[in-house]
């Protein structure tokens, strides 16, 4: 065994994790950051079946077509899932504070005032974690707005291409040729003239009109 490996193992035995109260609170709430920004969307406490129904509802509502649209819809559903988690995390922080600081402000006779002071103390003690939740919420909302706009643009372009393709298909259909005109010189051909343009033959013709000579 190398000296370096021996030293690393010895140092690991000396490590006892965070010792201060601030360090312990930060360590205990590391999952808050991971749940909102990590690759894994589901936590061990999440309902996988509920998550699948959540994804299916987004796909039914947004009707993605193709890989790029499907990825955006998946991302939007995950963002919504993370946003839904934030209020619960905030409530968990204050619930923890109410237990952790339950013995504080015992000199207050008014229970409402005492509860308000404990809540304020919790807010100040976990201010960093609560502020992180607010920052993550703002980041997720901005990302949702951007990806929603990207999805709408992709779907609009796709529908426009589909409509142009349909119009091009109609324009390429062969036109029906008109029936051929009748040949006046062909045997048996009949010409159609307007009788109003020719004078009716007179019942009494002069010799000149008949071409006879006396």
- Residues 5-47 have pLDDT tens digits of 455 445 444 444 455 655 554 444 454 444 566 667 888 888 8
Count Cβ neighbours within 10 Å for each residue of 114-126 and write b for 16 or more, e otherwise: beeebeebbeebb
The token pair that represents 202 in the structure block: 């007179």
pLDDT in tens, 115-174: 999 999 999 999 999 999 999 999 999 999 999 999 999 999 999 998 887 766 555 666
Q: Has this prediction a pTM greater than 0.75?
A: no
Helix (H, G, I), strand (E, B) or coil at 29: coil
Scan for tokens 């909302």, then name that residue: 141
Beta strands (DSSP E) in 98-150 are none
Is the pLDDT score of 50 beyond 80? yes
What pLDDT shows up at residue 165?
79
Distances from the Cα of 76 to the Cα of 20, 143, 190, 192, angstroms: 39, 9, 75, 73
Torsion angle defined by CA atoms of residues 118, 120, 122 and 126, in that order, rounded to the nearest 10 degrees: -170
Q: Are 151 and 62 in contact (CB under 8 A)?
A: yes
Domain limits, the chain: 36-171
Which DSSP string do the residues of 75-96 spell out, in sequence order? HHHHHHHHHHHHHHHHHHHHHH
Q: Are 76 and 151 in contact (CB under 8 A)?
A: yes
Distances from the Cα of 122 to the Cα of 29, 90, 136, angstroms: 14, 11, 20
What pLDDT shows up at residue 19?
58
Q: Are 60 and 161 in contact (CB under 8 A)?
A: no
């Amino acid at each position: 065994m190398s000296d370096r490996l021996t030293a690393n193992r010895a140092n690991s035995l000396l490590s006892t994790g965070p010792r201060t109260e601030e360090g312990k609170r930060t360590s205990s709430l590391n999952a808050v950051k991971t749940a909102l920004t990590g690759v894994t969307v589901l936590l061990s406490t999440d309902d996988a079946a509920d998550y699948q129904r959540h994804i299916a509802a987004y796909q039914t509502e947004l009707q993605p077509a193709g890989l790029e649209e499907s990825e955006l819809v998946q991302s939007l559903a995950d963002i919504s899932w993370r946003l839904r988690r934030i209020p619960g995390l905030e409530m968990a922080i204050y619930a923890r504070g109410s237990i952790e600081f339950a013995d504080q402000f015992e000199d207050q006779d008014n229970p409402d005032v005492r509860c308000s002071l404990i809540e304020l103390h919790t807010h100040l003690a976990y201010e960093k974690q609560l502020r992180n939740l607010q920052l993550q919420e703002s980041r997720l909302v901005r990302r949702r707005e951007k990806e929603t706009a990207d999805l709408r643009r992709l779907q609009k372009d796709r529908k426009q291409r589909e409509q142009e393709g349909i119009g091009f298909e109609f324009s390429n259909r062969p036109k029906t040729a008109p029936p051929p005109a009748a040949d006046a010189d062909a045997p048996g051909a009949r010409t159609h003239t307007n009788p109003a343009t020719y004078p009716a033959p007179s019942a009494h013709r002069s010799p000149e009109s008949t071409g006879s000579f006396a």
